[in-house]
Every structure is written in C-alpha cells, then in structure tokens.
Amino acid sequence: MKEFREDKTYGQLLKPLQVIFPQWLEDVRFYDIRPNLHSAEPWKIVSIEDVPQQQPESSDCGVFMLMFTCT
C-alpha cells in the first residue's frame, strides 16, 4: 500500500526478503530452468511508483506483491 511504501522504515522491514527470495528460488531449482536470471549481486529493494493500489482491509496484498516483485 502507498502508505507503507512512503514509510522510511520499509527498507529495513523488507531486508530479510533480499535473502529469502533468492534462496527460495535456489531451493526450488528455479535457476536450473532460468540460469540467466541467477545473479551473485544482492537483490535491491525498489519502491515502484504508479502501480494499482489495493483497498484497505481487502486481504489481497499477496497478489499485489507478487505482481510487482520482479518488475
């Protein structure tokens, strides 16, 4: 949600995902299928502007997160 994105602490809150997501992709052997996407560089947390916003209390945040994780 936009309010969260504008919070200066979001980078710290999302920092563990920089480790978890690449490790998970390694564990499920995703990089065996798409080796060109594997990188030794750490993932960056980037705030993306101009994306559709979910409605508060809608419980669909997972869908929004997945749609824009690898944008």
How much is the pLDDT for 58? Answer: 72
**Cβ neighbours of 64 (radius 10 Å):** 15
Query: What pLDDT digit, counting tens, does each position of 12-51 carry?
Result: 788 888 888 889 999 999 999 999 988 888 887 777 677 7
DSSP string spanning 2-36?
Answer: HHHHTSTTHHHHHTTHHHHHHHHHHHTTHHHH-GG
Quote the pTM value: 0.55
Rounded-to-integer distance, Cα 9 and Cα 60, Å? 22
The token duo for 1 is: 């949600």
Domain count, the chain: 1
Residue 53, domain extent: 2-68
